Amino acid sequence: MAKIHPFKAVRPTRDKVSLVASRSYQSYTPNERDSRMDYNPYSFLHIVNPGYKYQKEISGEERYKLVRNRYLEFKEDEIFIQDDTPCYYVYKIVNREQESFSGIIAAASAEDYENNVIKIHEDTLQDREVTFKEYLKTVGFNAEPVLLTYPDNEVIAQIIAKVIKVRAEYEFTTTYRDTHYLWKISDPKSISEIKNAFSSMKTIYIADGHHRSASSYLLAKDLKEDNPNHQGNETYNFFMSYLIPESDLRIYEFNRLIKDLNGLSKEEFLIQLDEWFRIENRGIEVYKPSNPHHFSMYLEGEFYSLYLRKTRYEFADALEELDAQILYKTVLEPILGIQNLRTDTRIEYSHGKNDIISVKSKIDSDEFKVGFGLFPATVDQMKRIADQGLRMPPKSTYIEPKLRSGITIYEF
């Protein structure tokens, strides 16, 4: 049964939240980061990029300690405050397409992660897990929740619907034209109902944030071993999460761009593709797949539709039905010679929220030779792969919503 607890969030004051909130550190170019920090002294980027203060690149343990120092300075200056009692936080995002996402920010259990109550569908890199664990251990906080998804639940839905009728604690719009709202739930009755609703769920799934959750689990193990008086309810036994119902989750595809044809001519490449796909040349007509197991391809100024020959391909399990896996097993590995999707420099990815024309333009500019468009995976596919203990290839899903960092902070 899932253990999803309230916690005492550290968060910006109402008047500064729009200035503090930032996208994830990695999503900015260096110039973008510097520009935001030049003109906004309250940006959370000042905390996670402490070298900016000294105009110096700082890494490793030295950086972690300075991140901790910047964070404490934000608290000392009362840019951040901490709630007096454990709360749940209703968080709502309305994006520029007017899609709405509503969920609860809470503390999820590292023990549930270990025991497969919280299930994963992606492999993680051990080096990244350990690096982020050491980062968390030094800085003592987490400011970016893991995205979890749960089966739609009427009790939780009714509480959220009631809460959002009153004025939000936070309401601000970003330059991306997404509007963010946050409400605090502190009354004991609602807290009990939410906790009980989650405890009735046998399984919750990680949608986004596999490395963060894995690192939080490793941190909990380390701190448990270091604590002779471990009780199980210490804050390090939990990690901050944003839990949304499955119906609110949006999954987009990641398209693939390849730099060469592995020594093949265009004609030789198409002949090898023909073994696995029924191929149709669509010329300059922009084509995007509209069904599972259909792919688009852009090569030398022309679009192609590729329909999988199902009599040739065996669907042995849930993973083998995933289009990202199908493309890897039929094209990327055997024909184009791409063995490792994480490390091969010949392949890059473009998420499906970017128009297919962006793939076309990169190929027309000779930056890449061929591009493949995929049909997005579904929540059901993601769950079945996780339930069978399988792992998706890297960049199989681009998932929304995307939260801002620094709005709620979880201290260990």
| Dihedral (CA of 134, 136, 139, 143) sign | positive
Separation in Å, CA 275 to CA 207, 215, 279, 309, 335: 34, 43, 10, 8, 11
pLDDT digits (tens, 9 = 90+) for 36-89: 999 999 999 999 999 998 888 899 999 999 999 999 999 999 999 999 999 999
How large a percentage of the chain has pLDDT more than 90? 89
- Reading the block at residue 21, the tokens are 């909130």
| Residue closest to 17 by CA, chosen among 242, 176, 178, 174 | 174
Separation in Å, CA 12 to CA 17, 18, 20, 35: 5, 9, 7, 21
CB 374 within 8 A of CB 289: yes
If phi > 0 it is left, if psi is from -120 to 50 it is alpha, else beta; for residue 60 that is left
Determine the pLDDT at residue 100. 96
Domain boundaries, the chain: 4-250+400-411, 254-396
Q: Which amino acid is at 272?
A: Q
- Reading the block at residue 245, the tokens are 């119902």
Determine the pLDDT at residue 355. 75
How large a percentage of the chain has pLDDT more than 70? 100
Q: Which amino acid is at 93?
A: I
- Reading the block at residue 24, the tokens are 């994830």
Determine the pLDDT at residue 89. 98
pLDDT of residue 259 exceeding 90, the answer is yes
Q: What is the mean pLDDT of residues 7-26?
A: 95
32 vs 68: which has the higher pLDDT: 68
| Dihedral (CA of 259, 29, 210, 378) sign | negative
Determine the pLDDT at residue 157. 98
pLDDT digits (tens, 9 = 90+) for 310-366: 899 999 999 999 999 999 999 999 999 999 998 899 999 999 887 788 899 999 999
User: Within 13 Å, how many C-alpha atoms sit on residue 355's CB side?
Assistant: 5
pLDDT digits (tens, 9 = 90+) for 174-227: 988 999 999 999 999 999 999 999 999 999 999 999 999 999 999 999 999 999
* C-alpha 26: how far from chain center: 12
CB 369 within 8 A of CB 338: no
Domain 254-396 has CATH 3.30.1760: yes
The per-residue pLDDT of the chain, averaged, comes to 95
Determine the pLDDT at residue 301. 96
What is the distance between the alpha carbons of residues 353 and 349, in angstroms, rounded to a whole number? 12
Roughly what angle, to the nearest 10 degrees, separates helices 210-226 and 126-139? 60
388 vs 355: which has the higher pLDDT: 388
Determine the pLDDT at residue 354. 76
| Dihedral (CA of 316, 318, 319, 325) sign | positive
What is the distance between the alpha carbons of residues 145 and 138, in angstroms, rounded to a whole number? 18
Band of pLDDT at residue 26, cut at 50, 70 and 90: confident
pLDDT of residue 392 exceeding 80, the answer is yes
What is the distance between the alpha carbons of residues 265 and 301, in angstroms, rounded to a whole number? 15
Cβ neighbour number for residue 321 with a 10 Å cutoff: 17
pLDDT of residue 125 exceeding 90, the answer is no
